[in-house]
């Protein structure tokens, strides 16, 4: 009876008793199973990312003109692309890059956004007003469009991609943390800290900030999935990461040319990889959110 | 020569809600607290007792008037200058759940005042002091590593008390410390507070709407209405021989847990006026059984009727003689 | 064989013509860590016509849950496991939901702790009261409005016309509670259940509300089930009282007797910790200040805190024993010897 707010109440449907029982247990088991599955997927990806060079037998950038478009076989588990490069090798190396970008983006946005939001909520006044207007402006663009614009301006490099997407995400964390800070600031333990004689900075750092950051942390888990999609999206459009660097979006973009022809392995596997990564992160984020809600 | 521990002089506090509305929460409050006494500050919601308390501990800025602690005027001090004074002036809050940081353990909560005021020099000293205060408030040491969520209401409130007392304050302001507790626990906490006061020689300013508790714990009492003190004096004197019409109504309204007690109840008509628009003269005049025309013109001062008993009403004061 | 034992044996309740409301052996369960737990466990009490019964208990005693069960207002996690509730000889548990709506508001009414959340924030106060008259008594618009105005005057709201047009958020706590009382007694119910009606209200307002309840009760010949934790209120307003702790009825009897010669150690503890305003109370904190309630205990649930606890208290639930006229206690100190 804790996570019923957001999900459809399958188990309250009318129907023969065995059906209702089945649906009810499916619901609670699915909750746990979802988490384990997501965790498994993410851990598998992390493993691949870290041990990439040890896992793959081929070089991701090595071209081989006479091995073009080979379908999946025991030699090339996922086949080869138009330059004869082993797909599996490229995919695994791309995992490295994509995960690194996602974590960097979210890490940057979370840290900078939360600090700014907390300070803004705590200090208030002109600083708060100005920052909120800046946030409003940034949020008036859809995040992806904003990232696109920035990437186009900054130029195509990994660092710029990270920066562009991080800037697009920061406003959300600013808002979330600021909101919590405004609430927490009025609570009695904030007064109690003042009364004890705790300095304002220590109050902020030791008492208020840890209690304002929970929604941002949950959002960060979700943002990992989005960052993945945004990176791939940018690369697909030709911004940010460019070929021949192996990256899932780049690979999808290259494989997309073959979508109507026979070489299905060139777009299916990278697409599947994105799907698995996003699914995994979202599953973890969802469980985190449910746990947090239950605690409140 | 100021022998009092705390002296409040002509305290006024207004809150500005917006350009046109101002809430006049405290409108000229004067009183003194001597060392080692327990004084109750009572009244109903909106009377200004909580705001007065918050002004004393500098959680609110005073609009007008002065507060003197051990002879030193404290309202004009900066927060940094006031910090050392906080060692000696502490507050116990009403809601045990909300007044403790949910992310800190009991140990961390109780330890913080010691850290902030640099009261111990070695970890061993700190440990000893923490354990000493825990024992003093009847909390088992095993609770030190628990978080507030894992404690009962009475235990949480005791942690709040421990936090307030760990610096060895001279004045403790208690804002309805037992209102959120169940009856059977309340008496334990009240009794604890009484014993601690005697043991540590502190002064209590006990804010409450529960007059039965005030009667038990305090020696003197101040009754507030609409931001002013309407009657003050020794507890027994005020409760047994109340003069002000409001004090009488207030006391008569409280049910006594004794089926044989006879009650002559004074029911007040209407409601208190809004704090945003204080009526001229005595703010209680519209509901008062003693009111005459002059009451609505000048605000009455506190008249001394002997035995330390003072009342802000000409008619009521006249009743004495 | 006492009335309690007869009822527990499953026979039809004797003398149901005497008591207006009779709650018999009510048990309500909630989900716990290892399955369902009977939070309210075998609660029985009765109210006769025009009497005021006080149900005294602290937080977690189950008093509100039991009262809601009378009106069949308990919601999902709570489940009535057993027990019967007889009102004027009819079993309320057996009625269909449709018939219950005829009982609620008309025969039995209830007022709650926070009046403002019981009122519709989007409707004017006058309309809400008028609506009660239209629905329950089938009156026309004009008539209902007139009656609503009359009700407001009866509950002591001056300037009835102005307040008819106010919204709930514009009223103070005391006024909202009066409005709620006006709505709830509009149809002259035979029983009014008041669940801590003055929590959060000032003392002087509390006095006003209780005077109002007394007055309304007398003019309408109502019975009142007053749920509270305040023994002072019980002493003043009630003729009989029921002391409930952790879902068990510990003691019941006339107010005079229970205050004079409390039988149960819990009642004694409460009375000994009562502070009063007419003199400096001579109190002694009794018991160990332990607060946790163990609902899975099927024996005496007061055992963890009882200063007179014996071995048998942990093993077996005590029987209900008469210790005086109409005065009953559930405690091993009185059974057996």
pLDDT tens digits, residue range A14-70?
A: 444 555 555 555 555 556 777 888 888 888 888 888 887 777 777 777 777 777 787
> Which DSSP state fits A211?
H
Q: Say whether C229 and B239 touch across the interface (CB within 8 A).
A: no
Cα–Cα distances in angstroms (integers) from residue A238 to residues A97, A231, A232, in the given order? 16, 11, 10
pLDDT above 90 for C250: yes
Give the whole-number percent of chain A exceeding pLDDT 90. 27
pLDDT above 60 for C91: yes
Please check whether residue B123 touches C, CB under 8 A.
Answer: no
- The string of pLDDT tens digits covering residues B221-250 is 999 999 999 999 999 999 999 999 999 999
Q: What is the ipTM of this complex?
A: 0.87
Classify the phi-psi angles of A69: left when phi > 0, otherwise alpha if psi is within -120 to 50, otherwise beta. left
Interface of B with A (CB under 8 A): 57, 59, 79, 83, 86-87, 90-91, 93-95, 98-104, 112-113, 116-117, 160, 163
- The string of pLDDT tens digits covering residues B26-45 is 999 999 999 999 999 999 98
Residue that has been written with the tokens 């640099």 in this structure: B118
Which residue segments constitute the domains of chain A, with CATH numbers given? Answer: 33-59+76-295 (1.10.3720.10)
Specify which of A31-35, B234-238, C5-9, C199-203 reaches the highest per-range mean pLDDT. Answer: B234-238
Chain C residues touching A1 at Cβ < 8 A: 31, 76-77
Q: Say whether A197 and B91 touch across the interface (CB within 8 A).
A: no
Out of A40-54, B96-110, C51-65, which region has the weakest mean confidence (pLDDT)? A40-54
Buried b / exposed e over A56-88, threshold 16 CB at 10 Å, is bebebeeeeeebebbebeeebbbbbbebbbbbb
CA B103/CA A210 separation, integer angstroms? 8
Out of A39-48, A158-167, C264-273, which region has the weakest mean confidence (pLDDT)? A39-48
C81: closest CA of chain A, how far (Å)? 19
pLDDT of residue B321: 45
Neighbours of B, requiring at least 3 CB pairs below 8 Å, are A, C
**Cβ atoms < 10 Å from Cβ of A16:** 8
β-bridge partners, C191: C108, C223
DSSP string covering C196-223: STTTTS-HHHHHHHHHHHHHHHHHHT-E
pLDDT of residue B320: 56
- The string of pLDDT tens digits covering residues B39-68 is 999 999 889 999 999 999 999 999 999 999
- The string of pLDDT tens digits covering residues B106-145 is 999 999 999 999 998 899 999 999 999 999 999 999 999 9
- The string of pLDDT tens digits covering residues A224-266 is 988 988 888 888 888 878 778 888 888 888 888 877 777 788 8
CA A293/CA A79 separation, integer angstroms? 45
Average pLDDT, chain B: 91
Q: Which of A189, A198, A200 comes nearest B99 by C-beta?
A: A189
Q: Collapsing DSSP states into helix, strand and coil, what is residue B142?
A: helix
Q: Collapsing DSSP states into helix, strand and coil, what is residue C247?
A: coil
Q: Say whether C235 and B45 touch across the interface (CB within 8 A).
A: no
Average pLDDT, chain A: 82
A294: closest CA of chain C, how far (Å)? 15
C213: closest CA of chain B, how far (Å)? 14
Per-residue pLDDT, averaged over C77-97, amounts to 87
pLDDT above 60 for B17: yes
Sheet holding C35-48: strands in order across?
C35-48, C19-32, C79-87, C90-91
Per-residue pLDDT, averaged over C94-108, amounts to 83
Please check whether residue B143 touches C, CB under 8 A.
Answer: no
Interface test with A, best of B79, B99, B180 (most A CBs within 10 A): B99
Q: Are A101 and A162 in contact (CB under 8 A)?
A: yes
Cα–Cα distances in angstroms (integers) from residue C308 to residues B185, C161, C263, in the given order? 18, 59, 12
pLDDT of residue C65: 92
pLDDT of residue C12: 41
Chain B residues touching A202 at Cβ < 8 A: 116
Task: Give the global pTM.
Answer: 0.84
pLDDT of residue A24: 55
pLDDT band at B165 (very low <50, low <70, confident <90, very high): very high
- The string of pLDDT tens digits covering residues B269-303 is 778 888 888 888 888 888 888 888 888 888 888 88
Chain B residues touching A210 at Cβ < 8 A: 103
B-chain residue closest to C270, CA distance: B184
> Between B25 and A91, whose confidence is greater?
B25
Please check whether residue B76 touches C, CB under 8 A.
Answer: no
pLDDT above 50 for A218: yes
pLDDT above 60 for B185: yes
Give the whole-number percent of chain B exceeding pLDDT 90. 65
pLDDT above 90 for A120: yes
Q: Say whether B258 and C276 touch across the interface (CB within 8 A).
A: yes
Give the whole-number percent of chain A exceeding pLDDT 70. 88
pLDDT of residue C283: 80
**Length of chain C, please?**
337
> Between A83 and A140, whose confidence is greater?
A140
């Amino acid at each position: 009876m804790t996570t019923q707010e957001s999900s459809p109440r399958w188990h309250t449907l009318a129907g023969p008793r065995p059906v209702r029982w089945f649906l009810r247990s499916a619901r609670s088991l699915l909750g746990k199973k979802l988490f384990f599955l997501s965790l498994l997927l993410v851990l598998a990806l992390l493993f691949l990312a870290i041990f990439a060079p040890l896992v793959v037998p081929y070089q991701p950038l090595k071209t081989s003109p006479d091995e073009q478009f080979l379908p999946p076989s025991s030699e090339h588990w996922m086949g080869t692309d138009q330059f004869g490069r082993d797909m599996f090798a490229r995919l695994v190396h791309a995992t490295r890059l994509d995960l690194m970008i996602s974590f960097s983006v979210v890490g940057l946005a979370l840290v900078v956004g939360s600090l700014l939001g907390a300070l803004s909520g705590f200090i208030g006044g002109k600083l708060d007003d100005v920052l909120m207007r800046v946030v409003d402006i940034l949020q008036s663009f859809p995040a992806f469009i904003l990232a696109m614009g920035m990437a186009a301006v900054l130029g195509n490099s990994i660092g710029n991609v990270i920066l562009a997407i991080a800037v697009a995400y920061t406003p959300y964390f600013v808002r979330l943390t600021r909101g919590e800070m405004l609430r927490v600031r009025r609570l009695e333990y904030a007064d109690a800290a003042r009364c004890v004689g705790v300095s304002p900075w220590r109050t902020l750092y030791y008492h208020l900030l840890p209690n304002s950051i929970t929604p941002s942390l949950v959002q960060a888990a979700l943002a990992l999935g989005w960052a993945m999609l945004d990176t791939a999206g940018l690369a697909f459009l030709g911004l940010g990461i460019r070929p021949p660097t192996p990256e899932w979006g780049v690979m999808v973009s290259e494989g997309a040319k073959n979508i109507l022809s026979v070489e299905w392995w060139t777009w299916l596997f990278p697409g599947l990889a994105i799907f698995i990564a996003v699914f995994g992160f979202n599953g973890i984020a969802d469980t985190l959110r449910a746990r947090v809600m239950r605690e409140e | 020569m100021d022998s009092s521990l705390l002296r409040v002089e002509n305290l006024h506090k207004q809150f500005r809600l917006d350009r046109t509305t101002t809430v006049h929460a405290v409108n000229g409050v004067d009183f003194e607290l001597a060392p080692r006494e327990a004084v109750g500050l009572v009244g109903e919601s909106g009377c200004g007792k909580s705001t007065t308390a918050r002004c004393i501990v500098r959680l609110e800025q005073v609009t007008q008037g002065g507060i003197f602690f051990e002879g030193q005027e404290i309202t004009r001090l900066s927060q940094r200058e006031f910090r050392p004074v906080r060692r000696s002036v502490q507050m116990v809050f009403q809601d045990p759940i909300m007044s403790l940081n949910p992310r800190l353990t009991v140990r961390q909560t109780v330890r913080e005042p010691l850290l902030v005021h640099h009261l111990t020099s070695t970890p061993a000293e700190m440990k000893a002091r923490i354990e000493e205060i825990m024992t003093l408030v009847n909390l088992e040491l095993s609770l030190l590593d628990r978080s507030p969520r894992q404690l009962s209401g009475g235990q949480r409130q005791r942690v709040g008390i421990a936090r307030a007392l760990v610096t060895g304050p001279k004045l403790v302001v208690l804002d309805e410390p037992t209102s959120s507790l169940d009856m059977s626990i309340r008496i334990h906490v009240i009794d604890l507070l009484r014993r601690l006061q005697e043991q540590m020689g502190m002064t209590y300013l006990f804010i409450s709407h529960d007059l039965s508790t005030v009667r038990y714990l305090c020696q003197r009492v101040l009754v507030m209405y609409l931001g002013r003190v309407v009657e003050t004096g020794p507890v027994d004197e005020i409760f047994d021989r109340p003069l002000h019409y409001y004090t009488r109504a207030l006391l008569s309204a409280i049910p006594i847990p004794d089926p044989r007690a006879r009650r002559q109840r004074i029911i007040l008509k209407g409601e208190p006026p809004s704090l945003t628009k204080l009526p001229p003269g005595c703010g209680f005049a519209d509901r008062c059984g003693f009111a005459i025309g002059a009451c609505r013109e000048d605000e009455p001062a506190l008249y001394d009727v002997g035995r330390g008993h003072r009342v802000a009403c000409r008619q009521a004061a006249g009743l004495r003689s | 064989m006492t009335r309690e034992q007869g009822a527990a044996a499953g026979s039809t309740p004797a003398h149901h013509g005497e008591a207006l409301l009779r709650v018999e052996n009510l048990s309500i369960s909630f989900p716990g860590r290892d399955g369902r737990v009977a939070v309210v466990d075998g609660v029985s009490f009765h109210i006769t016509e025009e009497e005021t019964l006080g149900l005294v208990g602290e937080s977690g005693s189950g008093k509100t849950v039991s009262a809601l069960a009378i009106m069949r207002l308990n919601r999902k996690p709570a489940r009535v496991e057993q027990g019967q509730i007889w009102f004027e000889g009819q079993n309320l548990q057996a009625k269909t939901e449709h018939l219950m709506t005829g009982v609620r508001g008309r025969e039995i009414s209830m007022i709650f702790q926070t009046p403002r959340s019981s009122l519709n924030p989007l409707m004017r106060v006058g309309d809400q009261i008028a609506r009660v008259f239209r629905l329950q008594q089938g009156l026309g618009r004009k008539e209902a409005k007139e009656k609503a105005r009359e009700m407001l005057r009866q509950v002591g709201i001056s300037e009835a016309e102005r307040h008819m047009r106010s919204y709930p958020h514009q009223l103070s706590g005391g006024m909202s509670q009066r409005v709620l009382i006006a709505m709830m007694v509009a149809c002259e119910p035979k029983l009014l259940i008041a669940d801590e009606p003055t929590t959060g209200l000032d003392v002087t307002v509390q006095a006003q509300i209780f005077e109002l309840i007394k007055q309304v009760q007398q003019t309408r010949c109502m019975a009142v089930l007053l749920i509270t934790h305040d023994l002072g209120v019980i002493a003043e307003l009630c003729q009989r009282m029921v002391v409930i702790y952790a879902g068990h009825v510990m003691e019941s009897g006339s107010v005079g007797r229970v205050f004079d010669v409390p039988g149960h150690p819990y009642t004694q503890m409460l009375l000994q910790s009562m502070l009063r305003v007419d003199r400096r109370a001579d109190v002694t904190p009794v018991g160990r200040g332990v607060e946790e309630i163990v609902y899975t205990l099927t024996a005496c649930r007061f055992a963890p805190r009882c200063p007179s606890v014996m071995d048998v208290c942990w093993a077996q639930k005590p029987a209900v024993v008469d210790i005086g006229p109409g005065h009953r206690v559930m405690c091993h100190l009185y059974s057996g010897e």
